[in-house]
Each structure stands twice: as structure tokens, then as C-alpha cells.
Amino acid sequence: MALHEHDDRALFLVVAAGRGARAGAGGPKQYRELAGRQVLTRTLEALLGAEPEAHALVVIHRDDLEFYNTAIAPLPEILRARLHAPAFGGETRQDSVCNGLEALAAAGATAAAPVLIHDAARPFVGIDLIRRALDVAQKNGAGVPGVSVTDTIKQTAEDGRIVATPDRAALRAVQTPQAFRFELILGAHRAARDDGRRDLTDDAAVAEWAGHCVFVFAGEAANIKLTTQEDFLQAEKKFVDGKMLNDLPDVRTGQGFDVHAFGEGDHVWLGGVKVAHERGLVGHSDADVLLHAITDAVLGAIASGDIGAHFPPSDPQWRGASSDLFLRHAVELVSARGGKVAHVDATLICEKPKVGPHRDAIRARIAEVMQLPLDRVAVKATTSEHLGFTGRGEGIAALAMATVRLP
Ligand code: MG
């Protein structure tokens, strides 16, 4: 793919040539899965999705072509169309970036185009940060995102002795994307290469070495670089079922309540689990009072009527139906709106059967039906101290709250 002449559209140069030894076994970290998608896929999605006209080029290790092809395959065609063929990295990060810049130059990148050089292992780069970086590249020619340092930093000698305590207020921890006017950073890299310098650890250092003034602009705390196994474990927690909850800012809460009376039978269904009991619950479906309350809570959170409206008791097709079908439908309605159930909390009210021994199985079943991690499903139980219809053992009541997040 060649850029058009005099085409000053933004460029992303993504550095993915590292081996990522610190993240433990499992291959280079930029190709590891994070919540069901490779890190590089997520990074490219974030960059290309933020700037509709921008092109991107990824610098990869010579052995990683297959990994790379797997990573770009899930990208929508509209994003993939803006990717150049990858360039191969060199021995150091500096070499790799230099190769990538040369590949962009060969593709016709113009002198004035803003280029953002970004670590493949920073998939949480936000749209506002990308916009700030492009702005700085155009206005100042060279800038890097930085965040204030909260720990006191000590400079030490080889034996561990402290030799200096720099003023924390003047220190910044620097991230990527680092932002440059294309001709400035290409010229600086070429000069460093021709001078035999190959050990400069970031592109700001290359620009500084070449005598350019580099500015620090506001970075983002969330824009972490995935480095260790622990980073991956922490990052996974930002996702629920492949979706990042932070991308769903519209937080809704719904409530549900249901009651079923005891009748003939030798078991009850509670939260999708069959619990042996001297009586059954009367109902049109399987009378799973807990799943009905949760279903209503989810429907309530998206203001989509109630369980009776979606599954009329008068409709014979729901006779004896397994209630997980109702709950699954409510969860699908949330998905159809691009949302995600984030949490469910439910309470069963009855004297008998005892819920405690079945609680873990019930939570696990609800989590499975709703495709939620177990720590986002709470099930509690109480008696009503022999008061009222539940206290007299005439039936079971259930209350539920669901938190739903929508785009
Ligand atoms: Mg019911």
C-alpha cells in the first residue's frame, strides 16, 4: 500500500518486535490473549478506531509473521485496509523503530505527517490521549506522554547506596504513543544509526540526542504496558466476557421480585439447580422463583417490560419450561444493545429448604447462564422469622438486583 503524494494523514508505527521474556512462558506478550483477543489486535483496534483516516505499520520479529497474521485477522476489513505490510525489527528497539520509519518513508510518508510510535503491549491507549499526541506532533514537532511519579525515586550506586534523591515534582514516567513530525524523527533515527548509536531506549531519547526539543504532555494512568504475568492477570479483570466495562459508561440498576406457592412435589428449582424438598413449587414453568426475580431485574435495568410480557403464562409453549431460557433471553437483550450485565445480587426468602448447602452450585449455575465470572454473582438467603406467608411455609419469595452497563 502506498500513501498518496502530499498526504499528511496521521501514521501509527506499532513496535511489536520484542520477545517479552518478562511475561513468562506463552510466546511474545503482544500476541498473548487478553480476554479472548490478542494484545496486538486490541492495540491496533484502539489506534485505528480512534483516527478514521490514519494508516498503521507494525514492526514485527522475523519469526512472528504467522502470529502477526493471526492477530490482524479478527480486525474489521475497514481497519485492516489501513494497515501497511509489516516491517521486520532489528536487534534493539531503536533498530526496529528505524526500520519501521524507513518502511513508512518508502511507502511515501510525507515530511509533515504526524507519526505516533506506540508499544504493541499498551492496548489501553485511549482516544483522548491519541488526539493529544497528534496535536503535539503537529504543533511542537516532538512530544511524549508522561504521568506524575507518586513514589519517591532514588538514584543508587552499584552497591545499593543512595547517591541522589531527585525532586519528584519534576519527574515524569514516560509512556507511548510518542509523537513526532515524520521528517524530524526519521532524520534523528538516521543520524543516530549513521553515528553508531543503537542503545537509545525510546524515541524521545533519539530526538533529544539529535538536538530536538521534546515536550511532555499528559499521559493516562490506564495506559499501562503489559510486561509481567501479574500485569496480564490485573488487565484481565477489566474485562467481563470479552467486554471492557469502562467502555460501557451508562450504568443501570434493575430490581426483580417473585413469589411461588408450595404445592405437590419432591423438589424445587432454585437458580437453575434442582433441590430435593418435601414439596414442590407451583407455577406455569419450572417455577424457579430465583431465576424469575433475576430475569425481571435484568429486564428492569434496560426498561424492557417484565418476564410476563416476554413469556406470557397464557402461552402453552412455556409450560414446564426451564427458566434459564427466560434469563438467557433477558441477557441477550442486553447484548443486543451492546451492553453487558456487570453484577447480580439475589436473596431467597424461605424457612425451608435450607439454601446454604446449595448456594455455591446455584451461584455457579447463574454465572454460567449469564456468562459472568463467579465473583459477579451473589446469592443470599434468609428466613422471615416465621412471619408472613414465607414464615408459615406457604411459599418462597426471591428478590434480585442487577447492574447493567450500556454504551
Ligand atoms: Mg415466577
CA of 283 to the centre of ligand 1 (A): 7
- Contacts of 352-356 with CB under 8 Å at 24 or more apart are 352/277, 352/393, 353/268, 353/275, 353/276, 353/277, 355/270, 355/379, 355/381, 356/381
Work out the average pLDDT over 333-350: 94
Determine, yes or no, domain membership for 204: yes
DSSP-derived secondary structure letter, 279? S
DSSP-derived secondary structure letter, 250? E
Q: Which three cell numbers stand for residue 14?
A: 506499532
Determine, yes or no, domain membership for 241: no
Work out the average pLDDT over 342-366: 97
CA of 89 to the centre of ligand 1 (A): 62
Over the stretch 138-168, which tens digit does the pLDDT of each residue have?
999 999 999 999 999 999 999 999 999 999 9
Domain identity same for 223 and 251: no
Write down the pLDDT at residue 78: 87
CA of 321 to the centre of ligand 1 (A): 12
Q: Counting Cβ atoms within 10 Å, is residue 283 exposed (0-12), middle (13-18) or buried (19+)? A: buried
Which residues constitute the domain of residue 81?
11-236
* Residue 63 CB neighbours (<10 A): 10
CA of 330 to the centre of ligand 1 (A): 15
Determine, yes or no, domain membership for 4: no
Work out the average pLDDT over 354-358: 96
CA of 307 to the centre of ligand 1 (A): 8
Write down the pLDDT at residue 230: 92
Determine, yes or no, domain membership for 289: yes
Determine, yes or no, domain membership for 339: yes
Domain identity same for 223 and 260: no
Is-contact 273 288, C-beta < 8 A? Answer: no
CA of 228 to the centre of ligand 1 (A): 48
CA of 143 to the centre of ligand 1 (A): 60
DSSP output for 198-243: ----SHHHHHHHTT---EEEE--TT-----SHHHHHHHHTTEETTE
Write down the pLDDT at residue 24: 61
CA of 296 to the centre of ligand 1 (A): 9
CA of 329 to the centre of ligand 1 (A): 15
Domain identity same for 27 and 101: yes
pLDDT at residue 103 greater than cutoff 70: yes
Domain identity same for 116 and 225: yes
Sign for the CA dihedral angle at 196, 198, 200, 204 comes to: positive
What span, in angstroms and rounded, lies between the C-alpha atoms of 23 and 45?
Answer: 22
Tell which of 201, 236, 271 closes a domain: 236
DSSP output for 4-69: PTT----EEEEEE----GGG-SSS-GGGSEETTEEHHHHHHHHHHHH-TT-EEEEEE-GGGHHHHH
Determine, yes or no, domain membership for 134: yes
pLDDT at residue 19 greater than cutoff 90: no
Band of the pLDDT at 255, cuts 50, 70, 90?
A: very high
CA of 282 to the centre of ligand 1 (A): 9
| Count of structural domains within the chain | 2
Q: Closest by alpha carbon to 189, among 206, 211, 214?
A: 206
Whole-angstrom CA distances from 60 to 18, 86, 90, 323 are 8, 7, 9, 50
Residue type, 228: T
Work out the average pLDDT over 227-235: 91
Domain identity same for 366 and 227: no
What span, in angstroms and rounded, lies between the C-alpha atoms of 79 and 48?
Answer: 6
Write down the pLDDT at residue 23: 55
Write down the pLDDT at residue 27: 78
Domain identity same for 251 and 188: no
Q: Which three cell numbers stand for residue 167?
A: 525532586
Helix (H, G, I), strand (E, B) or coil at 195: coil
Over the stretch 111-124, which tens digit does the pLDDT of each residue have?
999 999 999 999 99
| Mean per-residue pLDDT of the chain | 93
Residues near 373 by beta carbon (within 8 Å), at least 6 away in sequence = 240, 367
What span, in angstroms and rounded, lies between the C-alpha atoms of 45 and 83?
Answer: 11
Domain identity same for 63 and 194: yes
pLDDT at residue 196 greater than cutoff 90: yes
Domain identity same for 166 and 251: no
Domain identity same for 318 and 366: yes
CA of 357 to the centre of ligand 1 (A): 23
CA of 254 to the centre of ligand 1 (A): 17
Write down the pLDDT at residue 289: 98
Q: Closest by alpha carbon to 40, among 11, 71, 8?
A: 71
Helix (H, G, I), strand (E, B) or coil at 78: helix
Write down the pLDDT at residue 124: 94
Over the stretch 199-228, which tens digit does the pLDDT of each residue have?
899 999 999 999 999 999 999 999 999 999
Whole-angstrom CA distances from 282 to 113, 286, 320, 329, 391 are 71, 8, 10, 22, 18
Determine, yes or no, domain membership for 225: yes
Determine, yes or no, domain membership for 165: yes
CATH code: domain of residue 331: 3.30.1330.50
Domain identity same for 197 and 79: yes
Poorest-confidence range of 131-135, 241-245, 328-332?
A: 241-245
Over the stretch 45-96, which tens digit does the pLDDT of each residue have?
999 988 888 999 999 999 999 999 999 999 988 899 999 999 999 999 999 9
CA of 375 to the centre of ligand 1 (A): 25
Tell which of 206, 236, 266 closes a domain: 236
CA of 286 to the centre of ligand 1 (A): 9
Domain identity same for 323 and 381: yes
Backbone angles phi, psi at 364, to 5 degrees: -65, -40
Domain identity same for 147 and 184: yes
Write down the pLDDT at residue 25: 62
Tell which of 236, 261, 295 closes a domain: 236
Beta bridge partners of 399: 257, 347
Write down the pLDDT at residue 76: 84
CATH code: domain of residue 80: 3.90.550.10
Work out the average pLDDT over 33-41: 92
